[in-house]
Amino acid sequence: MSNNRHAATAQPSDVTADLDLGAVRAFVAVTEDRYFSEAAARLGISQQAVSKRVAKLESDLGLRLFFRTRNGADLTSDGRAFLHYARALVGLGDQALEALRGRRRSLRVDVLDTRLVAVDLVRAFHQGATDADVEVVTSNGLRSALGTLSGGSVDAAFARVRGALDEDLRHVPAYLEPVHLLVGRDHPLAGLAQVELERLSGATIWMPGNAPGSEWRDYYRLLGAAFDLRIDDSGPDFGWEWFVSEVGSGGRIGFVGERCRVPWHPRTVQIPVVAPVPVYPCSLLCHRQNHHPVLARLVQFIADGFRPYDPRLQWLPEPDRAAFLTPAA
């Protein structure tokens, strides 16, 4: 019986290597400049880093690509065979980066309504970061933001956080907006500089914009339950101008945010609500894997400007309190 022995020789094709584009780029630079020091200067890294990258590439390929001479580094036969493909890889990498730079868009920020304070915050951020391109889009709050943030069609969104979020979403407290009462000029409360919450006990607050399933409808439901208010969200909802006009005509009263740009009407009065001050909580949400170059700056700007909840003077629904007592969630 014959005993056939086969010499086991490792070939580059025996192992699938994941090529490091940075190492391939270093290889091409050394090939063109002949000296590791000159390749390092071209790439803006140290000579040691170039050597390490080339050594890693040779290890990944299982081949020697260079040999040293007095005139610099010369290619081995394997190096010459690889050079054409290496240049193609670097070229494709450069083309891909250039294509993505061309697609780099404005930071897209979702707000519920352009009349709300969130727009003022975005505008203030942009005034201090004029090099940042920012685009404001509107939606229907948290219900749509959860999907658009995860899908990447928006980069950040202002909304009241309600319930548990996907672990890939993060949020930081953005602001707490005091609630004001909107009444007609002929209403008995119209002459007050401020109105205590307990004085509104038993009143009906008309808010036709409280859409079913929305986080703001939930907020006002909790506010009403805590202070014996009836929140009437019956429609139709024909927009801000119609709402203000209806309140101005007498009979109905409503809640609005302190900094909401409510359309002016000669027959309406806006009165702060106090003792305690109900505040509407809004957070800035973003996806943890979103690396838009402007996003981190916006998040930091919002976090720096936030003022925590003061339980001595303000009221928040119990589910919101923990997040707004601390600077971040």
Between residues 279 and 71, the one the model is more confident about: 279
Strand duo 134-138 + 107-111: pairing: parallel
Residue 183 near residue 204 (C-beta atoms within 8 A):
no
Of 148, 283, 147, 267, give the one whose Cα is nearest residue 215: 283
- Where b means 16+ CB within 10 Å and e means fewer, 105-121 reads eebbbbbbbebbbbbeb
pLDDT above 90 (res 42): no
pLDDT above 80 (res 36): yes
pLDDT above 50 (res 8): no
Q: Considering the chain, what is the average pLDDT of its residues?
A: 90
Q: What confidence tens digit (pLDDT) does each residue in 186-206 have?
A: 999 999 999 999 999 999 999
Q: What confidence tens digit (pLDDT) does each residue in 105-155 have?
A: 789 999 999 999 999 999 999 999 888 889 999 999 999 999 999 998 999
Query: What domains are defined for the chain?
Result: 16-103 (1.10.10.10), 107-325 (3.40.190.290)
Q: What confidence tens digit (pLDDT) does each residue in 50-64 have?
A: 999 999 999 999 999
Q: What is the pLDDT of residue 261?
A: 95
Q: What is the pLDDT of residue 205?
A: 98
Mean pLDDT of the region 210-216: 95
Q: What confidence tens digit (pLDDT) does each residue in 61-113 have?
A: 999 999 988 888 999 999 999 999 999 998 888 887 776 665 567 899 999 99
How is residue 18 annotated by DSSP? -
